Structure 1
C-alpha cells in the first residue's frame, strides 16, 4: 500500500484528521470490548464503481433503521444529477459514433442543454418540463442504439449502471412531491469520499462497518482503517472486464480490481483477518457474457473456455489464486448488490464467518 503518503499540505492535514478520527474509533472499540461487548470491525474495500457503496446502503436498509423521509430527501439532488449527467453522456456517444437524432429530439436537446445544469454547485432539479424532455430523449432510436451498444468495443462509453432504472421511472422523479424510495437510494450513484461508518446489532452481535472511497485518489485514506479489523469484505465487479477506469482510461477495471485484491489479501495488515470476496454485479455479467468474452480483459486474455459458468469460475480462480498467503483463506460469494434478498442472505453467511473467526481468536473454537 505504498500510495498512502500525502503529497500536499492539504493532503497531510486531511490525513492527520482522519488518523485522529480512526484512533478515536479504535478507542471506542476498546472501551466497548472492555465492557464485555465484542465488536466486529468490518472493512468494505474495492475499486471504484464495484458496487461497494450499494452493498453498504443495503446493509443500512436491512439491519439499521433504513432511511426516514429526511434521509431519503437528501438523495434527491444526487438522483437528479445522475439522470442529467447520463443524458449528457448519451448525447456525447450519439455525436462520437455518428448516430442521427430525430428532428424532434434535436429541438429537445437544445432545450435540455440550455436548461440543464453543468456546474457542480448548480441547482440540480428535474421539474415536469425537464422530465418530459428527458423521457422523449430516452425513447429516441439513436439514443436507444447508443445505449444498447455502450459495451461494444467499437462504440463503448461510460454510463452508470442505474441510468436505465431512473430513465424508466422519470414520471415519478419529475413529480412535485417526489421523495426517493429505498430502491432509488440503492440505485443512486454517489462517489464515496473519505470514510463512512455504521454500527449494527444483529442477533446480539455488534458490527461496525466502514465504507471507504474506491477511486485511486481515495485509497491513501484506507491505511487509517486497517487496525483491529475482524474481516475485509472486498467487492469486485464481475461486469467490468471490458471497461476502463473512470479516473484512468488506459487501465482496465478488472485488472485494477485483481491487482488491488492481490495487494489487500497479501498485506501484513490482514494476515490474521478474514478475507471475504464478493464477485458483484452478477446480473449484468450474466447478460454481458452472452456477447462479450472475458478475454477483453488483459488479465483474463489466457482464458480458453466460453460461456457463463466457465467464465465465472475462471474469474473466481484468478482472484482467489492472487492471494498467496499460506495462512489466509478467501471466502467467495457471487452477488447482486442491488438485490435486497441476495445481500440479506449472503450477509448471514458473512456473520457466521466473522463470529467463528472471533470465537477462534478467543480460543473457543479450534479452527476459524
Structure 2
C-alpha cells in the first residue's frame, strides 16, 4: 500500500533549481553593480557666475568622455526620489520646531505626518505608493505650505518645491528626468570631491545681478557657504583659481590695483611656499597667492580636519594647463575616494 507524502515532482525540483540559479545571477549582478558604483568618482562642479565652469566642462569633454546618456538619466531617479523624501521630512519636522509652531490645516492629516516622521534616517527606502500618497496630500495641506513659506528659518534643500510639485510626474512608470530635473536635483550622495572654480581676475569686477557686489568677494562668500554646508562637511574641495592669464594682464597693466578692492593686500607678503611659473613676474606671484590664501583662510577656519582644500592655478582656455591640473588632481581624487570608503 503506497503512502502519500510531500515528495516533489521532477518539474517542481527543476523549477526550484532554475529559481536558485536565477537568484544567484541576480545577486552576482547586484554585487557587480555595487563594485562599479563604488569605483566611480563623482564630482560636483561649482562656482560663481562667469568663473569659467562651462569652459572647464568643455575641456573635460576634450580630454575625457563626458555627458549623461539615457541610462544615466534613469539612474538619477533615485536621487530625485530621495530629494522628495528629504524635502517632506524636513518640512513636517520643522512644523513642530519653529517658533511659533505651525499647525496642520486639516488635523486628519496628522497620521500622515507620523508616517513621514517614522521614515527619518531610514536608508534603502523602497518608496511604496503610500509614501507618495501621504506626501502629495500633505503638500496640498495649507499648514504644510505655510511651513514651507518659512523655510528661511530652517535648512531646506532648494529643489523642495520643484520636486514636490512634480510627484505625479516622478511616479510615472516611464519617467525619465529632464535636463531641468537633473539641474535641480541635489545629488550629493557619495560625491567624491567638489571642484570649485574662481575667476581670479574678477577682483575689480561686479556681479551681473546687482552691478554692486564685487565678483571675487561673491566667490569667497559662495565658497564659505559651500565649505560650511551641512551636507558637504566631509567632502574635500579642489579649488581652481581660474583665469590666471587675465589676472596677470591686469596686475602688470597696473590700472586696477588689488588693494583698492581688498585693502589687506597692501600688507600681504608672498609666502615661502610660493612656486612661481618660469619667468613669472613677482607681482603676479604675489597677487595669485594672495587670492589663494583668502580661500585657504576660510577652509582652515573650522579646523575640524574632516575635509581639505586643494588649490590649483588654472587657465581654462589652455588645454595643456588643464591637462596637467587634471593629472595632478587624479591622485588627489583617488585618495579621497579610498578615504571615503575607509580603505585608506
TM-score using structure 1 length: 0.46
Flag the structure with higher helix content: 2
Flag the structure with higher strand content: 1
Which of 1 and 2 has greater Rg?
2
TM-score using structure 2 length: 0.49
